[in-house]
Structure 1
Amino acid sequence: MTDASAQQNDDLAPEAAADSGAALSPQPLAERVENRSQKPTSDTFRAFMASQWAPASQELPGLDASALFAARRRAAVSAMFPGERIVVPAGRPKVRSNDTDYRFRAHSAFAHLTGLGVDHEPDAVLVLEPTDAGAGDAGTDHAATLYFRPLAGRDTEQFYSDPRAGEFWIGPRPTLAELAARTGLRTAGLEELENAVTKDVAATAVRLLREADQDMDAVVAAARADAGVDAQAAGAADAALAEALSELRLVKDEWEVERMRASVASTIAGFEDVVRALPRAVGHARGERVVEGAFFARAREEGNDLGYDTIAACGNNATVLHWIRNTGQVREGELILVDAGVEDDSLYTADITRTLPVSGTYSDVQRRVYQAVLDAADAAFALVKPGTRFREIHAEAMRVLAGRLHGWGLLPVSPEEALSEAGQHHRRWMPHGTSHHLGLDVHDCAQARRELYLDAVLEPGMVFTIEPGLYFKAEDLAIPEEYRGIGVRIEDDILVTEDGAENLSAALPRTPEDVEAWMARLQG
């Protein structure tokens, strides 16, 4: 628009402006998302909406089973950072599309320290306030308070007008008293949060779990700047907190192991659903999506959600390590690799992979590859016990696979040369690690230091995967044609015990013979 035409439009009379489509009172952009709601605004409506509701229950819930364990975890954090304020946000909703949010899931560190799973709200923040030595909760050096948005009364406009927090839109939320009764924590409304986090920042060091809540990041950064706190030193302190909270989850307590057992059980049921769905998947243009959907239904029926996006990869797609498009067909005679886990309502997840013959029977070459991967997994599992180093699990699996690849004539060098740091030829067909820790995150404890992860000595209570694989891409000219397009991974969830290890997912068939018999039984 030229300057002249703009001036002409500005000079239009109100009637002419209306006729031309120009708005008499421009609506702020932020308000336009509400155009679809046609929300009544009369005083009569407000008064009517606030009346004649049954009273809310005054009965308080009992203490959650997780509360005692969460308190122990907070005590461990308190011991690590005496005299410092610890701020751990749950996180904020993430917009999926315009005014539609993804289902909310709290940051794993927040869930770990509060014991809360899905029944709490976005924007909540846990604050551990330093006290005199031993004067805090249960003799610790901190007093913990959970700040969150409590239930809005039915006499408030928020009750029916707020699509993110109103009970009319999203259902009831706990009151401050209810959440305190469940968690054993002090509770306070969000209106008190900013002062609690920023007061005396110059005198009280604040450690913040960053990147969980952008608003909290900004509040703390501004308070530190106003108080003259060194930004680089504060950033290092925040990073050390993230590291410590990640390392705190390396060893699971009894409650965590119990919830992981529940996740595994639901995941095994999901794999049974997958097998039953395979005949329908074969006749579908997007058969992999049929498989994905069958597992997802189980995850939502028995848990909170998927622990991660399901991999349902048939044929050559199984050689794509993170194939989550799941748009391919499921064909008779091929293998389908399914990597999936149910996230429990506690937010703990399983992570299991099985590679199944679509037709119900492995071919000779498929069985050969499958058995090699199974043997590598079994050899790695045999090493697991307290005192073994985490990295030795991977090394043992690689030793087995390099030997098989050499025996099949696929390695251009000896197994010893391939396994050397200067070689690694076998990694062309097994490029990923054999194990990762598992828990609240599918790749749990990811911020832990190398010496406590890869170089760590195994301890009772550690939970991790063992998941070797072989991936022979259809376009790989370094191998005979009979191997091309075959991808196999076998993954189980392992608990380190006092005298060895337990395969938590052992109830899901693993040997080729057991898999075939299991599939035949489920498909009738």
Structure 2
Amino acid sequence: MTEDVNPETLPSGEQPLESRGENRSQRPASAAFKEFMASGWGARPELSTERGAAAPFTAERRDRLSAQFPGQRLVIPAGTFKVRSNDCDYRFRPHSAFAHLTGLGAEQEPDAVLVLHPVDESEAPDGVTGTPGTHRAVLYVRPPAGRDSEEFFSDARYGEFWVGARPTFTDLETLTGIRTAHLDTLRDALAKDVGPDGVQLVVVPGVDEAVEAVVEEIRAAQDTGGSDARLAEALSELRLVKDEHEVAQMREAVATTIAGFEKIVGQLPAAVAHRRGERVIEGTFVGHARQEGHAVGYETIAAAGDHATTLHWTDNDGRVRTGELVLVDAGVEVDSLYTADITRTLPVDGVYTDVQRRVYQAVLDAADAAFAAAVPGNKFRDVHAAAMEVIAARLGEWGLLPVSVEESLSPEGQQHRRWMVHGTSHHLGLDVHDCALARRELYLDATIEPGMVFTIEPGLYFKSDDELVPEEYRGIGVRIEDDVLVTVDGNENLSAALPRDPDEVEAWMARLSAR
């Protein structure tokens, strides 16, 4: 069918599938309407845009990346909208590498692409010196559509009438400190000087299929390849040590998350009264996250009773009963997209039973041992090992291990891991499992450095049908998770304001319940 045929004039059986989603719409299409729609608009209000606080830090991050890829053109897409169902999209969140290098968070900027163009001594545009490894950053974006365009009023995904005005090139340049250009010029910009003896083109894989396809087409035409995996790896490793701005964002995320936990305690009576009490807890936290930040950093876990023994319980459709524990694993993602990741295991009625307290104290002692190991000079894997020594020792004291503690702790044993199969720590930042593509030698086998931010989260999980533990333990799941910043002389528990000692938890809950 040619473009000038209106699908609405065709018999229903001949209407293409791709146009049928508009059958519900009754948008006017007359020339008179379009002419009238384009008239009578005043000047757009100017957006209040200042240089973002992240801008000097993102420039330094781009410089560090640049030094690793001399002569290569680096393509870092923000990503596209993702369909939730039919023609409804999820709320847009840019790819973390894009956010890290531009400072754009929240819902900025769909379809945008950051490109780091290599420059040499002969170019040196815009004051760039052209030293080896130097790149010139350009942000390719979709500009606002004119009010005389159909996009303005008819495009439900991008149209200003539907989703609001997009920032102008000037707005984005002011905010980010990065030169901007029209998205339509991206293809030619990517292809410039690409070849076996020229510029190598690399793109972050798995972010934007359309951009990847353009890159592949250019590389195929110029008979050249690209180290896409190495770029993805480098972008992940770039975040292993947080800068001053990132640490400030993490503090904000943690503080906002702690406030959310306080609200949860206040809603526990409502959770007990509701047939889906776990949803009451989840809804309380998610509502708080949207009010005070961008969203949650991951799906909230609100696991009561035996559900707490399922590590990633996100159904959250169960009852919350007095006398039981509820494990809440939650984190607010602030507008810059940095997220906290905190877990507390709370007695629903405010007081731990003797057995619950015994299990809880074992997990707390394991966490404290992990904190003692989370210092500069130790290995990242030492944090987990320290926690496991305590977990194995307690399980041995309780007579649950089929072998000695020493044998269980050996690589050939590991029987204690039946009751804690997950790791103790992971890096934290823009992603809840940050830096996930970093090489093993820079992550698990790495030496701990000041500026690293990661979790400490041991746990014990005794499922209700576990016949290898006494009945009094069955159905109890406990995890305590805090966010730690490594300092020059040790570490700081960023989430220390949220009580973790069992006596302090009970007193905290009592104070909040009395309000």
Q: TM-score, with normalisation over the residues of structure 2?
A: 0.95
1:287 partner letter: G
Instruction: For 2:12 and 2:358, locate their aligned partners in 1 and report how far apart those are by CA, in whole Å.
Output: 75
Given that 1:83 and 1:130 are in contact with CA atoms closer than 8 Å, whether structure 2 keeps it comes out as yes
Deviation at 1:363, TM superposition (A): 0.3
Given that 1:60 and 1:181 are in contact with CA atoms closer than 8 Å, whether structure 2 keeps it comes out as no
SS of 1:80's equivalent?
coil
Instruction: For 1:167 and 1:248, locate their aligned partners in 2 and report how far apart those are by CA, in whole Å.
Output: 36
SS of 1:35's equivalent?
helix
Given the alignment of the two structures, is residue 144 of structure 1 paired with residue 137 of structure 2, yes or no? yes
Given the alignment of the two structures, is residue 466 of structure 1 paired with residue 456 of structure 2, yes or no? yes
Deviation at 1:24, TM superposition (A): 6.9
Alignment-derived partner of residue 380 in structure 1: 370
1:311 to 284, 289, 301: 301
2:184 partner letter: E
Instruction: For 1:328 and 1:512, locate their aligned partners in 2 and report how far apart those are by CA, in whole Å.
Output: 25
Q: Against the structure 1 CA distance between its residues 424 and 24, is the aligned structure 2 distance closer, same or farther, given a 3 Å change threshold?
A: closer
Alignment-derived partner of residue 155 in structure 1: 148
Given the alignment of the two structures, is residue 486 of structure 1 paired with residue 476 of structure 2, yes or no? yes
The sequence identity of aligned pairs, in percent, is: 65
Give structure 1 stretches of 5+ with no counterpart: 1-21
Deviates more, 1:299-308 or 1:40-49: 40-49
Counterparts of 1:62-461 in structure 2 under 5 Å? 62-132=50-120, 135=124, 139=129, 141-202=134-195, 203-230=198-225, 234=226, 237-461=227-451
Given that 1:120 and 1:174 are in contact with CA atoms closer than 8 Å, whether structure 2 keeps it comes out as no
Deviation at 1:267, TM superposition (A): 0.3
Instruction: For 1:297 and 1:248, locate their aligned partners in 2 and report how far apart those are by CA, in whole Å.
Output: 32
SS of 1:250's equivalent?
coil
SS of 1:193's equivalent?
helix
SS of 2:24's equivalent?
coil
Alignment-derived partner of residue 508 in structure 2: 518
1:403 partner letter: A
Deviates more, 1:151-160 or 1:126-135: 126-135
Instruction: For 2:492 and 2:359, locate their aligned partners in 1 and report how far apart those are by CA, in whole Å.
Output: 25
Alignment-derived partner of residue 13 in structure 1: none
Given that 2:91 and 2:107 are in contact with CA atoms closer than 8 Å, whether structure 1 keeps it comes out as no
Q: Against the structure 1 CA distance between its residues 471 and 25, is the aligned structure 2 distance closer, same or farther, given a 3 Å change threshold?
A: closer
Instruction: For 2:373 and 2:191, locate their aligned partners in 1 and report how far apart those are by CA, in whole Å.
Output: 49
Given that 1:118 and 1:347 are in contact with CA atoms closer than 8 Å, whether structure 2 keeps it comes out as yes
Number of aligned positions between the proteins = 498
Given that 1:263 and 1:344 are in contact with CA atoms closer than 8 Å, whether structure 2 keeps it comes out as yes
Deviation at 1:135, TM superposition (A): 3.2
SS of 2:286's equivalent?
helix
1:345 partner letter: D
1:149 partner letter: R
2:473 partner letter: Y
Deviation at 1:119, TM superposition (A): 4.7
Instruction: For 1:471 and 1:298, locate their aligned partners in 2 and report how far apart those are by CA, in whole Å.
Output: 28
The one-character-per-residue Cα deviations of 1:416-455 (angstroms, maximum 9, x if unpaired) are 1110001001000011000000000000000000000011
2:213 partner letter: A
Deviation at 1:125, TM superposition (A): 0.3
Instruction: For 2:50 and 2:336, locate their aligned partners in 1 and report how far apart those are by CA, in whole Å.
Output: 17
1:178 partner letter: D
Instruction: For 2:108 and 2:351, locate their aligned partners in 1 and report how far apart those are by CA, in whole Å.
Output: 46
Deviates more, 1:349-358 or 1:127-136: 127-136
The one-character-per-residue Cα deviations of 1:220-256 (angstroms, maximum 9, x if unpaired) are 11221222225xxx3xx11011000000000000000
Deviation at 1:138, TM superposition (A): 5.2
Deviation at 1:61, TM superposition (A): 1.9
Alignment-derived partner of residue 7 in structure 2: none
Deviates more, 1:199-208 or 1:491-500: 199-208
Instruction: For 2:88 and 2:128, locate their aligned partners in 1 and report how far apart those are by CA, in whole Å.
Output: 42
1:331 partner letter: R
Instruction: For 2:294 and 2:492, locate their aligned partners in 1 and report how far apart those are by CA, in whole Å.
Output: 25
Deviation at 1:154, TM superposition (A): 2.1
Give structure 2 stretches of 5+ with no counterpart: 1-9
Deviates more, 1:193-202 or 1:506-515: 193-202
Given that 2:73 and 2:199 are in contact with CA atoms closer than 8 Å, whether structure 1 keeps it comes out as yes
